[in-house]
Chains A and B, each alone.
Chain A
């Protein structure tokens, strides 16, 4: 998949796409350089145990970053994913602790995620409200509901199949990371190879053009926010599974980490630019940096500062792309 996508990009010999590729390769180079430096300087970095830890830790925010990639490509934003993650975690913990079967609880949580996404999408596409405002409102609403449902406390549950799944590995890779990988593969397929995915780019490029070309902008927008909601719910389930309890504060602020990872990976808040490969690299970079600096006994805040600085630097460099002509 990755090779195929890279090929599709290099085939275009021109301007913007080539710069996109340079930026992605630059990101990859930074990741490799950091990995080499940390392997030499930080004992315990280049161990199987640590690689597994990184893989496990990046999965939750990584899935949210994939969700943001969809939304950002349509020139939208979804600030509610962190809160939705928290709500989903509480719902599944409550459901399981009240004796719901695991598949039923999972279906309930996925339905809730899609439902929230459809509400976001409806308010944005049908009522023409700005995505930032709609999802900011939803961020507050969902966090409040989560605290009320969870009574402001951790919710214990007992479901060995769920917690074991999150703790175990398959073929040497943590199951949680494999879920993240699978999400990336499906997302890359949808975004880059299907007609529906192309419509997402078209809407982000020029919504009015897309509408006039006969694209069902409303249905596509609804789909995008529903996907975002579903992925946030999935991330919530994984985090609750990993922590073996529901936490009403889980996911607070994750939406910003997810957006940062997607933007580091080349997604543009103006729409129509972004890729799953790029987002994956963005997620890996943030994770490796935090982990390496932590092993070197830096204050955890140093990683945040560097991440913020890199984000600004990348967006600044991105402006070197061929400047846009007047909007068509």
Chain B
């Protein structure tokens, strides 16, 4: 049997963290999970550690983007509900 790839743990961790974030995705957790799985499966055959690291970095970038998206969505909702008269919306 083939040995597990040394970066396997990191990839699984990234997947779990993204899956957790996906629970709040505006289009729904199911939609997100499907997309997420597809994105990971597309790269299942990548073996080069450098390339895998690059992909992990991209995943971490997506995490930051999602966090920013959720923050902005909530901030805008609060602003619209509680600060209606503000001109700098």
Mutual binders A and B: no
Q: A residues engaging B (CB < 8 A)?
A: none
